Amino acid sequence: MTTASALLPATASHPPQEPALLSQYRHVRAATEMLVADLSDADATVQSMDDASPAKWHLAHTSWFFEEFVLGARVPDYEPVDPQYRYLFNSYYEAVGARHPRPRRGLLTRPSLDEILAYREAIDESMFSLLMTAQTDDEAALITLGLHHEQQHQELLLTDILHLFAQNPLRPAYAPELVVPVVADPRPAPEWIRFAGDIVSVGHGGDGFAFDCEGPRHQVLLRPYALCSHPVSNRQWFEFIEDGGYQTAGLWLSDGWRWVCDNQIEAPLYWEARDGTWWQMSLRGMHPVDPDSPVTHVSFFEADAFARWAERRLPTEAEWEHAARNLPATGNFIEGRSLRPLPDRQNTSGVLRQMFGDVWEWTASAFLPYPGFRPSTGAVGEYNGKFMSSQMVLRGGSCVTPESHIRATYRNFFYPQQRWQFTGLRLADDV
């Protein structure tokens, strides 16, 4: 399938007079198309479950976003590429109008993948012309939002492809396995990093892009706490399974235990037992579970049960952000081309490791508005605020998140039973 070197476009050379926002637009759009370069029309059409979307739909929806919110509003007498696309590729924007039901996106055998790519090209041509002109601050902010929206869909596209390929008994690989040098040094031993309690400021403030749900910046009271230096590993999860973690009702929240029983959950998603050894499906195909890599594809219910089994807890999102506030947002992201979580091989003691990249880390915090939060006006105000119910916050990004997309204040959110994303956990404790 897609070669590892083709996952992200090389930095293109453009005329020096080209606006920075246009260069950013070119890069993000090209990166998306690199991800589907070797998918067949069938690969890009099938929908493996209600929560996932076909790759073809991701390609179209991210183009629809620019057509609906930028070109249609800014270009005089703009004529849509195809008026039917407004219905087919709207996701959840009630203010825009009716839309094709999400669970039936996989039935859209037409338009074809080639037609969707032609749609993207048409939108790009119009956006290139628009971006060569001056933008107001509000217009530039909306286009920047569209680019970060597309980066979100780059990650969703890969996680949805993984779920799709995992349903195929052939277990096809999206990308061939990288040759990784054998490292003899063991994974550094986890440590507990302590933080003093205080009244601290959290949330986004100042310059740079952020989604509306990341603000306003506000103060919270933190009691003294500690975070584990590393995310929970597969080796630790082996112990949880062997100790009967999935059979011990007392470890689970009531809804979590019902979910385990109803779905016969016995291990993280994509794990398979083969002759006494755990194997795992990844974007690079089936391979033995690496004991020293962070565990991934676990739900909030599983993360919470594991923390209780370990006699610890999950961090709150304020604790996580406070601990990460001065750390560089670098790590194992999509640019590293691993396409799966990796072990930490740096013997650095006394510091937090792998806070960014590898796996999204579940927190104990529900996705709720910060004090003073107000959604944006218009249809784009539906972007985050309407989902502040029954979902839990994750932090830090994953191995398929674009590095330029992440920051310490970033709030991802999913329902507690969902685990097809690259979701893991880090333990916390009171001091």
Q: Which residues contact 370 (CB under 8 A, 6 or more apart)?
A: 203, 213, 215, 216, 218
pLDDT at 95: 86
Asked if residue 363 and residue 320 are part of one domain, the reply reads yes
Q: Bridge-partner residues for 297, per DSSP?
A: none
| Separation CA 334–CA 357 (nearest Å) | 9
Asked if residue 141 and residue 54 are part of one domain, the reply reads yes
| Separation CA 282–CA 297 (nearest Å) | 10
Asked if residue 254 and residue 159 are part of one domain, the reply reads no
pLDDT at 273: 96
8 Å CB contact between 299 and 383? no
CATH number of the domain bearing residue 44: 1.20.120
Nearest to 121 by CA among 227, 32, 2: 32
Q: Which residues contact 384 (CB under 8 A, 6 or more apart)?
A: 211, 212, 213, 375
Position 210 in a domain: yes
Asked if residue 208 and residue 66 are part of one domain, the reply reads no
| pTM (predicted TM-score) | 0.94
Distance of CA 359 to the CA centre of its chain: 9
pLDDT at 181: 56
CATH number of the domain bearing residue 360: 3.90.1580.10
Asked if residue 200 and residue 85 are part of one domain, the reply reads no
Asked if residue 198 and residue 264 are part of one domain, the reply reads yes
Asked if residue 57 and residue 134 are part of one domain, the reply reads yes
Asked if residue 146 and residue 197 are part of one domain, the reply reads no
Instruction: Tell me how many domains the chain contains.
Output: 2
Residue finishing a domain among 132, 166, 200: 166
Question: Hey, is 392 helix, strand or coil?
Answer: strand
Position 380 in a domain: yes
Residue finishing a domain among 121, 150, 166: 166
Asked if residue 260 and residue 126 are part of one domain, the reply reads no
Nearest to 362 by CA among 295, 283, 271, 281: 295
Ramachandran area for residue 264 (φ above 0: left; ψ -120 to 50: alpha; else beta): left
8 Å CB contact between 236 and 289? no
8 Å CB contact between 387 and 414? no
423-424: strand order across its sheet? 412-414, 392-395, 360-366, 423-424
Position 172 in a domain: no
8 Å CB contact between 396 and 324? yes
pLDDT at 8: 56
Q: At CA 413, angle to CA 410 and CA 414, rounded to 5? A: 155
pLDDT at 359: 98
Position 99 in a domain: yes
| Per-residue pLDDT tens over the stretch 180-195 | 655 556 677 899 999 9
Asked if residue 299 and residue 150 are part of one domain, the reply reads no
Position 351 in a domain: yes
Position 183 in a domain: no
Position 268 in a domain: yes
Asked if residue 278 and residue 162 are part of one domain, the reply reads no
Q: At CA 305, angle to CA 300 and CA 310, rounded to 5? A: 125
Position 174 in a domain: no
- Mean pLDDT in each 10-residue stretch from start to end of the chain (431 residues)? 46 65 98 97 98 98 97 94 97 92 97 98 97 93 97 98 98 84 67 96 93 96 98 98 98 98 98 96 96 97 98 98 97 96 88 97 98 86 85 98 98 98 98 93
Distance of CA 367 to the CA centre of its chain: 15
For residue 17, with 0-12 CB atoms within 10 Å meaning exposed, 13-18 middle and 19 or more buried, which class applies?
Answer: exposed
Residue finishing a domain among 166, 184, 204: 166
Residue 154's domain comprises: 4-166
| Per-residue pLDDT tens over the stretch 319-353 | 999 999 999 999 999 999 999 999 998 878 899 99
pLDDT at 15: 54
Asked if residue 357 and residue 282 are part of one domain, the reply reads yes
pLDDT at 135: 92
